[in-house]
Amino acid sequence: MPNLPTPAIQPAAPNYLTTALFSLVSAIAVIGVPVFGYVYGYSWLDWTLFGVLYVVTGLGITVGYHRLLSHRSFDCPSWVKAVLLVAGGWALENSALKWAADHIRHHAACDHAADPYNATRGFWYSHCGWLFYKDANAHDKYASRLRQDSIVMWQHRHYWMIVLSGLGLTFVAGFLYDGWISGLGCFLLAGVGRVFAVLNSTFCINSVCHLWGRQPHSQADSSRDSWLVSLLTFGEGYHNYHHTHQSDYRNGPRWYNFDPSKWLIFTLFKLGLASSLKTASSAPH
């Protein structure tokens, strides 16, 4: 682990609601999912939905929450934005308004006290520990631009209904396939288990990609490139490049870099569903 400066830490009150929710999801994923699998097993539908929803919700975060809203790396029609934000909402990573505001602040105060997932406080804090405390450094100025977006505010108002619709979809699919037990199994694996997997892959960007890896583009902060994390997060592991060129719609700039998020954005561009793609030169395509 690199030697990073120790930040001034503000006292923070526990966030009991988030702690309880994260603990519940983790307990079900780590204990409930394997126990159910041992007793009843999982069907092809359960595993297929797990994979499909991992991709859909992961891209909802990387393309919708991250590159579209936080960094304005491209533009798209309102209905495309709404689809991306629903997919991101299914990941259970908070509303797009809260997520993007936190991420904008992360870039503005990286490695300092106001950084919401400050890697200088260690792996576990930057990975998930920051969730368990109320944020003493939160400031509404980071959300001011986002609050002017009607789609963002629509998703924020209906966030919990969106979350429940994603989880409910897995139960309904399993129930229609083979009854109550099948519905419960699909809910556990493709619903809660998949949420746990997406959460932790995303958290690796905050933790692993600020502690271990290469810094070929800049050493201005602790950000690092990790091709392994990119495999889990649809290209987000090229984090040192991203911190150096924040508005670039590509996190992996080379054609051979594994970055499905940039491929999706470019495909939308070719279909006329995205515009103003920004690169490191800030020149729209």
Residues 6+ apart with CB under 8 A from 67: 73, 74, 249, 261, 265
What 3-state DSSP class applies to 254?
coil
Q: How many CA atoms lie within 13 A of 86 on its CB side?
A: 13
- Mind listing the pLDDT tens digit of every residue in the chain (285 residues)? 445 444 444 557 899 999 999 999 999 999 999 999 999 999 999 999 999 999 999 999 999 999 999 999 999 999 999 999 999 999 999 999 999 999 999 999 999 999 999 999 999 999 999 999 998 888 889 999 999 999 999 999 999 999 999 999 999 999 999 999 999 999 999 999 999 999 999 999 999 999 999 999 999 999 999 999 999 999 999 999 999 999 999 999 999 999 999 999 999 999 999 999 999 975 444
Q: What DSSP string runs through 22-90? A: HHHHHHIIIIIHHHHHHHT---HHHHHHHHHHHHHHHHIIIIIIIIIIIT---B--HHHHHHHHHHHHT
Report which of 55, 67, 56 is spatially closest to residue 265, judged by C-alpha positions. 67
Query: Is residue 103 within 8 Å of 66, Cβ to Cβ?
Result: yes
CA distance from start to end of the chain:
39
Provide the b/e sequence for 17-36 (b: ≥16 CB within 10 Å).
eeeeebeebeebbeebbeeb
Q: Partners of 275 in the beta sheet?
A: 75
User: Could you give the angle at which helices 78-89 and 96-108 cross, rounded to 10 degrees?
Assistant: 90
Cα 22 to its chain centre, rounded Å, is 15
Distance of CA 75 to CAs 23, 32, 247, Å? 36, 41, 12
Q: Partners of 172 in the beta sheet?
A: none
User: Could you give the angle at which helices 260-270 and 44-59 cross, rounded to 10 degrees?
Assistant: 70
